[in-house]
């Protein structure tokens, strides 16, 4: 299965919403949180997403519609 690494950046109004959980339930995507920092006003999460490319694209489009900023990552930032 394809694996895509991304960063989600959340604004204040989405901090309390379980977006990553919902992403895994609504779409056939396995999520793996690699790193995160969440505060009261904002937060970010580095994720690995595993699934078909079409399903990952659909899931990411849904997350963007919610207002989450999504940035792709090249390579694994945790190695090295």
Over residues 15-59, the pLDDT tens digits come to 989 999 999 999 999 999 999 999 888 899 999 999 999 999 999
Residue 63 belongs to some domain of the structure: yes
Residue 29 belongs to some domain of the structure: yes
Residue 80 belongs to some domain of the structure: no
Residue 58 belongs to some domain of the structure: yes
Residue 73 belongs to some domain of the structure: no
pTM confidence score: 0.86
Distance CA 59, CA 28 (A): 9
Q: Total structural domains in the chain?
A: 1
Q: Which domain holds residue 20?
A: 3-34+42-67
Residue 27 belongs to some domain of the structure: yes
Residue 21 belongs to some domain of the structure: yes
Residue pair 15/70 in contact by the 8 Å Cβ criterion = no
């Amino acid at each position: 299965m394809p694996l895509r690494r991304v960063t989600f950046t959340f604004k204040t109004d989405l901090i309390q919403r379980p977006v990553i959980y919902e992403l895994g339930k609504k779409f056939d995507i396995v999520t793996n949180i690699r790193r995160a920092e969440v505060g009261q006003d904002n937060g970010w999460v580095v994720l690995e997403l595993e699934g078909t490319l079409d399903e990952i694209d659909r899931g990411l489009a849904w997350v963007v519609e919610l207002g989450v900023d999504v940035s792709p990552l090249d390579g694994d930032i945790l190695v090295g």
